[in-house]
Structure 1
Amino acid sequence: FCFKILNFPAEHIMHMAIGTSLSIILVTVTNSMYAHHLNKNIDWNISKKMFFAIVIGALAGGFVSKDLAAKTLEIIFSVYVTLVSIKMLMDVKVERDPKATKDVFYWTVGFIIGFKSTILGIGGGTISIPFLTWRGLPMKKAVGISASLGIPIAMAGVASYIYNGMKISNLPEYSMGYIYLPALVGVVLTSSFFARIGAKLSHNLDQQKLKKAFAIFLMLIALKIFIG
């Protein structure tokens, strides 16, 4: 939306939006992960099992996305956030006992998370959190692990979008590949601070109400993309 206002080349807007988004995620998720680590909400054994598969998936997603048209990326993104928001609105909290999970299951889900995240330019929480809670982990642990998984997603994604964008000649000034540096700096200056606040608030606020509010926000974003 902002890049359209700035009259960036239409064929590169979505690629730049995704690349810049991933670079912002890399900074903010580091702050969030640290806060969750201090609160002992990260099971590092699970995070380590998914790390390598996420990196492979993220690199694959980054190289696939360079061949997708901007409009195709917009449609994929809007459909995805619509489905996620509907699921979040309809989700009913059910307590489950922890389940034993084979490593290959973690690897498969990790690859899917990495691949999806770099194509859509978002963190992996929309897949990792439902998956981890389904396997019986408490919500706070699932959120904490998801924060730790955001780092390999963003690192691999950023590397892909920088590399692929370096070959493009008509990108805006102050771009590093598909990453627009002024947007990165501007957002990071505020979001890094609020990421830690958000991690602390997640311990005190009603999770279901927050989930539904976020779902409505996602629907509004998808609607805006659909209507142009």
Structure 2
Amino acid sequence: MSWWLAYIGLGLFAGFFAGLLGIGGGLVMVPALAMMFAAQVGFSTGEVLHLALGTSIATILFTSISSLRSHHQHGAVLWKVVIQITPGILLGTLLGTLFASRVPAKPLALFFTAFVCLVAVQMILNLKPKASRDLPGAIGVFAVGSGIGAVSALVAIGGGSLTVPFLTWCNVRVQNAIGTSAAIGFPIAVGGTLGYIYNGWGHADLPAWSMGFVYLPALVWMVPASMLIAPLGAKLAHRLPVATLKRIFACVLIALAAKMLWNFFPEPDSFT
């Protein structure tokens, strides 16, 4: 199989739904990459999920730039919030990658699958928190940023599924919440990418062309594909029944995560 074609296909798929639904592509890329890496020669079973996480968040590093610029041009980014939350985001992502690199693949796969299912249920039921308070002070924003950064690094996402609900809960307009979340996705990707590179540097079981836990061949093919198709998804968001597509996409997420989990627990007695 020509794996570069698979990477391009995954980049197109993830980028399209990222633009269409306003979510990061990490939830799709991680289970798909984990299965692709596991099927290739030269990949250690114990490291495929760490490589999938690192490569996914490195991809978001590039794709988040175009999203950030677009929302900034529409005046939807609350830069004061971005500045306040970024130090916490960077600390959280670095701690998250440190923790993820030291957790064995099976428990990490369980955590990822549980998080994916939570996001999928939120999509299917279209759950949204009701605005009930204002943004906390600088210390509170820093603490929230640390938590968002840590979880985002653990599951290799841009943080939108966490940041948008938090901001809307704090009475921030939805448009501003989405735009600010897009801007916050960049420091999440920066901290996460640096963390996965550093914590994976020098591991003996990594394949050739790896930079820590970032697999460069997959990164090189996925980034252009996802950046090319994301604007098309964003345009179609105003023409297609997004609520229905969210439910379909949620089912795809659950199926991908379940298949990835099955690869780590192929036998019924693997849980014992």
* Counterpart AA for 2:81: I
Counterpart Cα distance in 1 of 2:166 and 2:217: 35
RMSD of aligned Cα (Å): 2.1
The residue number in structure 2 matching 1:137 is 172
Counterpart Cα distance in 1 of 2:125 and 2:48: 32
Work out which of the residue numbers 20, 40, 61 in structure 1 matches 2:96: 61
Matched, 1:177 2:202: no
Residue correspondence of structure 1 range 35-54 to structure 2 within 5 A: 35-54=70-89
Counterpart Cα distance in 2 of 1:92 and 1:126: 11
Give the count of matched residue pairs.
228
Residue correspondence of structure 1 range 65-104 to structure 2 within 5 A: 65-92=100-127, 96=131, 99-104=134-139
Residue correspondence of structure 1 range 1-228 to structure 2 within 5 A: 1-7=35-41, 8-92=43-127, 96=131, 99-202=134-237, 208-228=243-263
Aligned 8 A contact 2:129 2:165 in 1: no
Counterpart Cα distance in 1 of 2:64 and 2:248: 21
For structure 2, which runs of at least 5 residues remain unmatched after alignment? 1-34, 264-272
Q: CA deviation at 1:37?
A: 1.1
Counterpart Cα distance in 2 of 1:218 and 1:32: 22
Between the aligned residues of both structures, percent identity stands at: 36
Distance 1:203 1:29, change over 3 A: farther
Distance 1:46 1:119, change over 3 A: same
Aligned 8 A contact 1:78 1:221 in 2: no
The worse-fitting range, judged by mean Cα deviation, of 203-212 and 56-65 is 203-212
Give the alignment's TM-score, normalised by structure 1: 0.90
Counterpart Cα distance in 2 of 1:122 and 1:189: 18
Q: CA deviation at 1:135?
A: 1.5
Distance 1:148 1:197, change over 3 A: farther
Aligned 8 A contact 2:135 2:167 in 1: no
Counterpart Cα distance in 2 of 1:207 and 1:145: 21
Q: CA deviation at 1:102?
A: 2.6
For structure 1, which runs of at least 5 residues remain unmatched after alignment? none
Aligned 8 A contact 2:163 2:177 in 1: yes
Give the alignment's TM-score, normalised by structure 2: 0.77
* Counterpart AA for 1:192: M
